[in-house]
């Protein structure tokens, strides 16, 4: 290397840092460099330690190299022809290097092993020394929540065995508690990665893996603005409630999906990190941090919705119904003479007072579109793969109970609003190539799941009459898909 080149090399180095430094924000969606929990923090600290060690080694080795290059450079033609004197190493330097490498490895090994121990087991609540060292309260451990995570192509099942509820793709958790995660898969190997809270762990068929995490409430409550100045937020902004839809509203207000990233309080982005098939890149999920109270209310809502004993039963002419009772009974005006809907008693209702709107004793619980959407859900065979109760752990598709509370659709891939849901139901293959709703076992063009796809009208040979027929059919499909979406979003 000629000294004349040095300024140019130094300049390119700074230009590189300048250009690529602008590309990344440390606090981006799926950044392991922005830890928001104890386990992630421990992994981050080890990473940073190894980065510093590596930088030190780079400078030490590179510095020696530069020094030697400059000092022993041939100054003229004559020197360049000379053969340097030959020697056989230097045992002092070699011993020193071996010793130094060993010390460096030990410096790395100690925290790494400690980190592995930490990650593999939730600390014992009786082990006060460890709790103090980790700055944890006993309650945070004793009240730990267990979530059984099952990976499926290409979505996630989250079961909460302590509460008897099942959901999918959005892991709602209390911010103040340790979360135990049991991981398994029903098909191929996936990997659970929630970078701001904990590292990756594989999900394997026929084998259960374990990890845990705990969020750091202080970190969730404090933010930095665009200029890097820290500020505190209040709890409703930092962690909008999921159970009443505030979280969904907050996410929709802040983010154009896939556009620039704006952090929304309490939302953590997760991703499958093990190639599992053609839609692997779209197999993401969310972790939604909640206050204890909001988490409790969410659990309660899901428990109510998934409790088979709380499902309304058919109206019975020999029963009395107190005010507020909900029953299922006929409503011919809906579709045909066999249609049924849910009614709510406006007052105390005596025996034999059959639900209808003329008597004034009963009212609609849901809109007509909702009720029709519900029947479409059945007739289009959605229930073949989707459960609306807690039995759905083994079902082929994501559990859809209270789907209207979820912020995302298609395993975190799109935001869960009406236009996207319509697109999804019309042609999910277009949105998420290879997904197993469109391509699932037993699904062909005759299956209900493909019945909302608009028919192309502009084919050359079609007569005007036929085109009109197709147009009307498309209109009808549009109405049906809208009703179905109303049902999916408004379930309560």
Residues that bind ligand HEC (CB under 6 A): 154-155, 168-169, 279, 377, 380-382, 384-386, 396-398, 400, 409-411, 425, 432, 435-437, 440, 443, 448-449, 484, 488
Helix (H, G, I), strand (E, B) or coil at 314: strand
Smallest gap, in angstroms, from Cβ of residue 157 to ligand HEC? 10
Helix (H, G, I), strand (E, B) or coil at 254: helix
Q: Which stretch binds Cu ion (CB under 5 A): 6-14, 106-114, 250-258, 271-279?
A: 271-279
Which of 221/281 has CB closer to ligand HEC? 281
Which parts of 427-463 fold into alpha helices (H)? Answer: 428-431
Which of 355/398 has CB closer to Cu ion? 398
Of 144, 212, 145, nearest to 181 (Cα)?
Answer: 212
Indicate which single residue of 239, 276, 289, 380 sits in contact with Cu ion (rule: CB under 5 A): 276
Residues whose CB falls within 8 Å of the CB of residue 401, separated by 6 or more in sequence, listed in order: 165, 166, 167, 302, 305, 306, 387, 388, 389, 392, 491
388 scored as a contact of Cu ion (CB under 5 A):
no
Question: What span, in angstroms and rounded, lies between the C-alpha atoms of 401 and 306?
Answer: 7
Q: Residue 168: which of Cu ion, ligand HEC, none does it interact with, CB under 5 to 8 A by kind?
A: ligand HEC
Neighbours of 276 (CB within 10 A): 21
User: Based on the number of CB atoms within 10 Å of its own CB, is 104 exposed (0-12), middle (13-18) or buried (19 or more)?
Assistant: middle
Which of 245/440 has CB closer to ligand HEC? 440
Question: What span, in angstroms and rounded, lies between the C-alpha atoms of 54 and 49?
Answer: 9
Q: Residue 270: which of ligand HEC, Cu ion, none does it interact with, CB under 5 to 8 A by kind?
A: none
Of 136, 143, 147, nearest to 171 (Cα)?
Answer: 147
Smallest gap, in angstroms, from Cβ of residue 278 to Cu ion? 10
Q: Residue 409: which of Cu ion, ligand HEC, none does it interact with, CB under 5 to 8 A by kind?
A: ligand HEC
Question: What span, in angstroms and rounded, lies between the C-alpha atoms of 262 and 337?
Answer: 51
Q: Residue 341: which of ligand HEC, Cu ion, none does it interact with, CB under 5 to 8 A by kind?
A: none
Q: Residue 276: which of Cu ion, ligand HEC, none does it interact with, CB under 5 to 8 A by kind?
A: Cu ion
Smallest gap, in angstroms, from Cβ of residue 439 to Cu ion? 16
Q: Residue 272: which of Cu ion, ligand HEC, none does it interact with, CB under 5 to 8 A by kind?
A: Cu ion
Which of 169/482 has CB closer to ligand HEC? 169
280 scored as a contact of Cu ion (CB under 5 A):
yes
Helix (H, G, I), strand (E, B) or coil at 219: helix
Residues that bind Cu ion (CB under 5 A): 190, 272, 276, 280, 283
């Amino acid at each position: 290397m000629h000294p004349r080149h040095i300024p140019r090399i130094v300049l390119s180095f700074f230009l590189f840092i300048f250009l690529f430094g602008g590309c990344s924000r440390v606090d981006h969606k799926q950044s392991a460099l922005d830890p928001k929990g104890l386990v992630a923090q421990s992994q981050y600290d080890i990473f940073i330690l190894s980065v510093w060690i590596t930088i030190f080694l780079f400078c030490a080795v590179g510095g020696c190299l530069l020094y030697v290059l400059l000092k022993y450079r041939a100054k003229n033609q004559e020197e360049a022809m000379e053969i340097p004197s030959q020697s056989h190493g230097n045992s002092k330097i070699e011993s020193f290097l071996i010793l130094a490498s060993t010390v460096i490895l030990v410096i790395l090994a100690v925290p790494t092993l400690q980190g592995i121990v930490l990650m593999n087991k939730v600390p014992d609540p009786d082990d006060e020394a460890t709790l103090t060292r980790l700055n944890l309260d006993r309650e945070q451990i004793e009240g730990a929540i267990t979530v059984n995570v099952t990976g499926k192509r290409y979505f996630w099942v989250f079961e909460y065995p302590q509460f008897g509820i099942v959901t999918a793709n959005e892991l709602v958790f209390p911010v103040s508690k340790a979360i135990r995660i049991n991981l398994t898969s029903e098909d191929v190997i996936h990997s659970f990665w929630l970078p701001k809270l904990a590292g990756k762990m594989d999900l394997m068929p026929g084998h259960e893996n374990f990890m845990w995490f705990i969020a750091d409430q202080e970190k969730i409550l404090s933010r930095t603005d665009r200029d890097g100045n820290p500020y505190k937020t209040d709890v409703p902004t930092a962690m909008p409630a999921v159970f009443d839809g505030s979280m969904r509203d907050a996410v929709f207000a802040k983010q154009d999906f896939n556009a620039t990233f704006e952090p929304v309080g309490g939302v953590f982005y997760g991703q499958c990190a093990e190639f599992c098939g053609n839609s692997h890149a779209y197999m993401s999920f969310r972790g939604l941090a909640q206050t204890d109270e909001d988490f409790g209310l969410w659990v309660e809502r899901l428990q109510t919705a998934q409790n088979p004993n709380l499902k309304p039963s058919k109206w019975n002419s020999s029963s009395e119904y107190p005010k507020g009772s909900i029953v299922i009974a006929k409503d011919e005006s809906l579709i045909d003479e066999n249609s049924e809907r849910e009614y709510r008693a406006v007052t105390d209702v005596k025996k034999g007072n059959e639900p209808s709107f003329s008597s004034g004793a009963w009212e609609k619980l849901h809109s007509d579109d909702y009720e029709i959407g519900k029947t479409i859900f059945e007739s289009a065979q959605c229930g073949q793969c989707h459960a609306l109760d807690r039995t759905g752990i083994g079902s082929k598709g994501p559990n859809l109970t209270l789907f209207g509370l979820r912020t995302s659709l298609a395993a975190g891939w799109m935001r869960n609003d009406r236009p996207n849901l319509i697109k999804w139901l019309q042609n999910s293959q277009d949105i998420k190539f290879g997904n197993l709703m469109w391509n699932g076992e037993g699904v062909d063009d005759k299956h209900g799941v493909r019945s909302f796809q608009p028919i192309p009208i502009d084919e050359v040979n079609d007569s005007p009459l036929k085109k009109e027929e197709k147009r009307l059919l498309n209109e009808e499909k549009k109405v049906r898909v809208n009703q179905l979406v109303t049902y999916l979003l408004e379930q309560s």
